[in-house]
A and B are shown apart, each in its own frame.
Chain A
């Protein structure tokens, strides 16, 4: 793990039906992952607006992770497809604005994937740690 003493802040949006359950199961199985991730539960990943992502970056998040049900699994039929397309657009917009699109990640985690949940949290933390801080509030003249 890249250890540069930098502790990133990562906001994770969790869908109520799959990913939040995956997080619960990670707990049941005592899968360990870093404390850098802070979860916000929404009913469906499709509830997450680009503004929520950008607000997070603006408020000091170094990374944002959106999690949802696997394609086809969505409790609300097709919410995750909407999320997928939205994230596709936002990633491009971030890149155009010089922000590493790797700071925004989308993962499908089912409620049976406790191991994957922990794995993704570890990977994401490591990845963002490697990218270094993102200071959008930097003061310019």
Chain B
């Protein structure tokens, strides 16, 4: 098999990388060792900070991957061997047999019912059992069954009940030879089992001590308890639950020194969801620093506190079971300096994110390095975070270090961009040719209805023949047939023949879910020369036979009605087209900081043309003001120079300095930007406008005394060298942050204070350096380690203060005087200082209010752009064609910025390398004759797809931007907008078909 890219690991990162590449026309093989792709994300109940249902948002991505012609999914498979080099790798993949033919298996589940073997379900964290033949979870991709060879007793009960004949005990595993140009490693993580390293917490010993993933499954509505949190000891709901943070993280002796980066937030999520469901539940989180560092994280944490989740600062020393069965937690409350024992019903351990179990072996096969913990090593942690130590092999997601979902998918897109480098000259798959279609617009509806038995899945619970019979007399219906499996290969031939023989022009299939099966039938329609939108499904299985299995008579009646409703809809269907518009290769990158430069470099190296505009007179952005970079201490200016130099070398990049953007008009493929009076035509836009410090005003004596300066000013002073010989330097973190007016966390302030404190200590070893902080939020790779060194070896003094007890600075005389209440010592302290450095709150760049108007996009109250989806689409804006990189999305360190910039480039290249973008078929249309120009629709369109035409006084929909939600059709106060495929008349007809006995559909 010869393909372009191999992706190892089918979690959310792997899937994202695969989609990014496949959409550009590259052929990808996605390998996962589990029976289904999905990884860890699909096991989560909800995701912070939006409380999105995790499986609900990841399943569509998985389905998208499985339906993409350019992606080959190999599950239950592992990498065996690799030779070659970038551009030409030869890989051997061991594909284990599932003993079930995926092309025949319909996923009906009869075999599962028949199987007598029960083993603990890995997916459910062994909290419940699965059968010997199983799918991991209902949304599995591929949705085919797997026989677990190790546990199969060979009774063949499954084979006997499989009507489709999908089970083959003689099938064998095989080795697949694969040639690819580049490889992405996305092997994810595993969660530490806290029984060895942290045995003092009683995991494995007490049934009500759980790890966080187990708790996730208890919360999940589709989990083993149906979403009810119940104690394992007695099956009753707990009255109190405690979360213990940093179990195995941030601890050299008993685990890993690094911060696992996600635990503070998922514990907050778990606690607040539990509390929300049962306000009487006592919830407490025992933590060291609450690292709510990401976009909207702090607000999420604040909300949890408001709900009544208690946060106690202290690392428990042990958990033990009392005689009454309750669990006692011993800890020191470091805010009060008291040793206490709390008693709870259930303890959840936020155990460390560990490298995936196969990393060792894989690193040998791929010949790439691991770091000391077992994560894959980046070529350069700061400047090339997604490159492995071997050319042609790239890293995505938690394979490199722990990270949350948006950081993972950003990096996955970044890895996809990097993986293009060795493939630049390869020919990509072009536009698929359109099959000729029969014009049915002038024909009367001739509807063909196919009713499916689904083996016994429908036929056992309702009378399929009766449903078929009742449908025959419906007006417009000219052909009715029933079939054993409507989705089978031969049934497609039957449908195609019927279309020809009876000159059918609308097809209804009464079977299972359109969500899983409609595309298959739609392909069949296309093959028979019919437009794929002339199709409607009624779901008489999932929504009828399976859920009404105790009442066949009523189920049959309902199936008739569902079919009648589908016929009513089918009658009104018309052919829809997915409009294509050309997208060229020109990008406007706004902002010449590291994010903008990296995006431009990545685009240019892949052959795209870039206009990079920067408002200042030189490239570099914030790098020009920083002294060194956290946590590598490299020189920021040198780094900026090096990047600017590379930008200068690229022929595809045109740089416009001192640029002012006067206007941007148009949409993807058709933007015109006016920059310094010049009109520039581009196809896509990347916003890399960064962030800025908020006005310091007179906080902590700023403005009254030059020795009080902001972090950036101090960085400038450090690189200028003119500090004198300071004896005392005080850093105050969170200035203007975590307050009611600006509740968010700036994400990078703690790290900046640390690296500057270290710099002072190195330059002036005798100086006293203080860092006044609220929570020390260093979470990235090597950041916690850096912090430990600064605290230990460098002897920087850390004082913790609370919001509302802000340090006071008295200016005047020769030294600044600083008063602070240390909430760990519970003491008022006075410190003399030569310099007070304010780590200012950060907010969006001042260009945001202007640009968001031009581009019809929105920003949050902090002035950061609102991405299309907080978890899965962090690099895109809702309007296609506009992308986000770096601080414009939210402040982030250089490593995350560069990975995200690569990702933004990858996203922008999707439509550009494909050469076109396509509208949805189901979109809204405006009737110009009716539209009265009230603009209601414009205000509600989440995609900025509707514009007002001032000349005609009507709304105009840009087809390619419309995603087809139909809310404008509902909002229009005079019915001037309708939604194709879901027209008002169609919906009304379905209502009538459902309710009125003699209504002629």
Q: Is A133 an interface residue (CB 8 A)?
A: no
Shortest Cβ distance from residue A7 to the other chain B in the assembled complex, whole angstroms: 9
Contact B221 A114 (CB under 8 A): yes
Contact A27 B546 (CB under 8 A): yes
| Interface flag for B942 (CB, 8 Å) | yes
Stretch in B182-190, B197-205, B558-566, B715-723 with 4+ CB within 8 Å of A: B558-566
Task: Give how many B residues have a beta carbon under 8 Å from the other chain's beta carbons.
Answer: 65
From A17, A24, A33, A86, name the one whose CB has the most chain B CB atoms within 10 angstroms. Answer: A24
Q: Which of A27, A28, A79, A111 contacts B967 (CB 8 A)?
A: A79
**B86 close to chain A: CB less than 8 A:** no
Q: Are A44 and B965 in contact (CB under 8 A)?
A: yes
Q: Give residues of chain B (469-516) contacting chain A, Cβ–Cβ below 8 Å.
A: 513-516
- Of A39, A75, A82, A115, which is within 8 A of B222 by CB? A115
B226 at the interface (CB under 8 A from A): yes
Whether B994 lies near A38 (C-beta < 8 A) is: yes
Q: Which of A6-42 contact B (CB under 8 A)?
A: 9, 11, 16-18, 20-21, 23-35, 38-42
- Neighbour of B982 across the interface among A28, A34, A42, A79, CB < 8 A: A42
Asked if A92 is at the interface of the complex by the 8 Å CB criterion, the answer is no
Whether the pair A112, B56 counts as a contact (CB closer than 8 A) is yes
B957-972 with Cβ < 8 A to chain A: 963-967, 969-971
| B979 contacts partner chain A, Cβ-Cβ < 8 Å | yes
Q: Are B966 and A24 in contact (CB under 8 A)?
A: no
Residues of A within 8 A of B55 (CB): 111-112
Asked if A65 CB lies within 8 Å of chain B CBs, one says no
For A73, the chain B residues whose CB sits under 8 A away are 50-53, 56-57
Instruction: Report Cα–Cα, A9/B942, bound state, in Å.
Output: 34
Contacts of B226 on A, CB cut-off 8 Å? Answer: 115
Is B543 located at the chain interface by the 8 A CB criterion?
A: yes
B643-684 vs A: 1/0 string, CB under 8 Å?
Answer: 000000000000000000000000000000000000000000
Indicate whether B838 reaches chain A with its CB closer than 8 angstroms: no
B547, A48: Cβ atoms closer than 8 Å: no
Does A67 touch B at the CB level, under 8 Å? no
User: Given the complex of chains A and B, what is the CA–CA distance between A23 and B545 in angstroms?
Assistant: 12
Interface flags, B950-993, vs A, CB<8A=1, else 0: 00000000000001111101110000000100101001101110
**Residues 113-142 of B at the A interface (beta carbon under 8 Å):** 138-139
Is the beta-carbon distance between B515 and A21 smaller than 8 angstroms? yes
Q: Does B641 reach chain A (CB closer than 8 Å)?
A: no
* A56 close to B (CB within 8 Å): yes
Contact flag A110-B56 (CB < 8 Å), given A33-B547, A52-B987:
yes
Residue with the highest number of chain B CB atoms closer than 10 Å, among A28, A32, A33, A52? A28
Q: Are A55 and B991 in contact (CB under 8 A)?
A: yes
Residues in B with CB closer than 8 Å to A27 are 513, 539, 541-543, 546-547
B984–A49 touching, CB < 8 Å: yes
Judge whether A77 and B221 touch: CB under 8 Å. no
Bound Cα distance A25, B226 (Å): 12
Interface residues on A, range: 35 or more
Contacts of B516 in A (CB 8 A): 24
User: A69 on the interface (CB 8 Å rule)?
Assistant: yes
In the assembly, what is the distance between CA of A116 and CA of B396, in Å? 35
B54 / chain A contacts, CB cutoff of 8 Å: 112
B residues 781-808 near A (Cβ < 8 Å) are none
Among B544, B557, B991, B995, find the residue whose CB has the most chain A CB atoms closer than 10 A: B991
User: How far apart are the CA atoms of A86 and B548 in the complex, in Å?
Assistant: 32
- A43 part of interface (Cβ distance < 8 Å): yes
Contacts of A113 in B (CB 8 A): 53, 221-222, 227
- Contact with A112, one of B51, B222, B539, B984 (Cβ below 8 angstroms): B222
A12 CA to B550 CA, complexed, in Å:
21
Q: Is B701 an interface residue (CB 8 A)?
A: no
Q: Does B1 contact A (CB under 8 A)?
A: no
Which listed residue (A17, A20, A49) contacts B970, Cβ 8 A? A49
B430 at the interface (CB under 8 A from A): no
Residue B617 at the A interface, CB < 8 A? Answer: no
Q: Are B515 and A72 in contact (CB under 8 A)?
A: no
Report whether B221 and A28 are in contact in the complex, using a CB–CB cutoff of 8 Å. no
A63 CA to B514 CA, complexed, in Å = 25
A101 in the interface (beta carbon within 8 A): no
Residues of B close to A86: CB separation below 8 A: 970
Q: Are A110 and B967 in contact (CB under 8 A)?
A: no
Residue of B nearest to A115 (CB): B226
Least CB distance, A115 to chain B, in whole angstroms: 5
Interface core residue of B965, B990, B994 (most chain A CB under 10 Å): B965
**B221 pairs with A47, CB closer than 8 A:** no
Which of B50, B227, B539, B979 gathers the greatest number of chain A CB atoms within 10 Å? B539
B868 on interface, CB distance cutoff 8 Å: yes
B542 and A76 contact, CB distance less than 8 A: no
Contacts of A59 in B (CB 8 A): 991-992, 995-996
Task: Name the residue of chain B whose CB is nearest to the CB of A47.
Answer: B966
Is the pair B542, A44 in contact by a Cβ cutoff of 8 Å?
no
Contact A24 B982 (CB under 8 A): no
- Report if A70 contacts B (CB, 8 A): yes
Given contacts A32-B550, A49-B984, contact A70 B539 (CB under 8 A): no
Determine whether the beta carbon of B53 is less than 8 Å from that of A40.
no
B residues within 8 A CB of A61? Answer: 991, 995
A28 and B106 CA atoms in complex are apart in Å by 12
**Given A11-B995, A77-B868, A77-B942: A112 touches B53 (CB 8 Å cut-off):** yes
- What's the least CB distance linking B178 to chain A, in Å? 33
Chain B, 817-865, CB within 8 A of any chain A CB: none
Most B-side CB within 10 Å, residue of A18, A51, A118: A51
Give the contacts of B504-538 with A (CB-CB under 8 A).
Answer: 513-516
Please determine whether A111 and B53 come into contact, CB atoms closer than 8 angstroms.
Answer: yes
A124-B971 Cα distance, complex, nearest whole Å: 27
Q: Is the CB of B542 within 8 A of A23?
A: yes
Give the contacting residue for B60; candidates A17, A24, A46; CB below 8 A: A17
A76 in contact with B547 given A25-B138, A38-B565, A113-B221 (CB within 8 Å): no
B514 touches A41 (CB 8 A): yes
Whether A35 pairs with B557 at a CB distance below 8 angstroms is yes
- B964 proximity list for chain A (CB < 8 A): 43
The residues of A that contact B541 with a CB separation of less than 8 Å are 27
Distance of A16 Cα from B992 Cα, bound (Å) = 21
Q: How far apart are B940's CB and chain A's nearest CB, in angstroms? A: 6
Nearest A residue to B561, CB-CB: A38
Residue in B51, B543, B966, B990 whose beta carbon sits within 8 Å of that of A44 in the complex: B966
**In the complex, A51 Cα to B983 Cα: how many Å?**
13
Instruction: Name the residue on A nearest B868 (C-beta).
Output: A77
Complex alpha-carbon distance, A15 and B56, angstroms: 13
B138 and A110: CB pair below 8 A? no
Is A132 positioned at the interface, with any CB of B under 8 Å from its CB?
no
> Is residue B81 within 8 Å, beta carbon to beta carbon, of the partner chain?
no
Q: How far is the CB of A93 from chain B (nearest CB, A)?
A: 15
Question: A123 contacts which chain B residues (CB < 8 A)?
Answer: none
Known: A11-B994, A38-B562. A46 touches B515 (CB 8 A): no
Given A35-B555, A55-B988, A70-B51, CB of A17 within 8 Å of CB of B56: yes
Decide: A76 and B53 in contact? CB cutoff 8 A. Answer: no
B240 contacts partner chain A, Cβ-Cβ < 8 Å: no
Among B51, B969, B971, B994, the one with the most A-chain Cβ atoms within 10 Å of its Cβ is: B994
- The answer to whether the Cβ of A78 comes within 8 Å of any Cβ in the partner chain is yes
Contacting residues of chain B (201-228) with chain A, CB-CB under 8 angstroms: 220-222, 226-227
A residues with a Cβ closer than 8 A to B are: 9, 11, 16-18, 20-21, 23-35, 38-44, 46-49, 51-52, 55-56, 59-61, 69-70, 72-73, 75-79, 82, 86, 110-116, 118
Q: List 20 A-B contacts (CB under 8 A).
A: A21-B56, A23-B543, A24-B513, A24-B543, A25-B542, A29-B222, A30-B546, A35-B554, A40-B990, A43-B922, A47-B967, A55-B991, A61-B991, A69-B56, A70-B53, A73-B51, A79-B942, A111-B59, A113-B227, A115-B226
8 nearest A-B pairs in the assembled complex, by CB-CB distance: A27-B542, A47-B966, A76-B965, A46-B967, A27-B546, A110-B53, A77-B942, A44-B965
Given contacts A32-B548, A75-B60, 6 further A-B contacts (CB under 8 A): A21-B56, A24-B543, A46-B970, A51-B988, A86-B970, A111-B139
